[in-house]
Amino acid sequence: MTIEVPKNALRLLTDLTGEPRFEVALWMALRDTVEHRLEKIAAERKVFEDKYQMDFTAFKQRWDTGQVPHQDTYEVEKDYLEWEGLITRQAKLEETAQWLPQTQ
């Protein structure tokens, strides 16, 4: 299968990665994107961990046993769902990172 890549896309990948070979530059950009997203998720998780003074595992355990203060409020329930979403996305991205090829 042959894919035609616009010249400006190749130029952008080369500029971003310093790599002139398209396939290598593409994998480099994908790996960088996954790493950047994982860093962003870590920062977002830290906000919740600081707010509730615990990690998500402890929070979920308390949630499941009804021990989270104001658990029935919109704000706390929204935090729970967003935090859980971050954990899920992090796991998917970490799995993805495992099969991304190492670039040379």
Choice among 15-24, 38-47, 63-72 with the minimum mean pLDDT: 15-24
- Is the Cβ–Cβ distance between 80 and 63 less than 8 Å? yes
pLDDT for res 103: 64
Q: Which of 86, 74, 85, 95 is nearest to 45 (CA)?
A: 86
The residue ranges of every structural domain in the chain are 38-104
- Mean pLDDT, residues 87-93: 97
- Mean pLDDT, residues 8-23: 92
Could you tell me which residue, 79 or 6, shows the higher pLDDT?
A: 79
pLDDT for res 30: 93
pLDDT by residue (tens digit) across 68-83? 999 999 999 999 999 9
Rounded Cα distance between 23 and 86, Å, is: 30
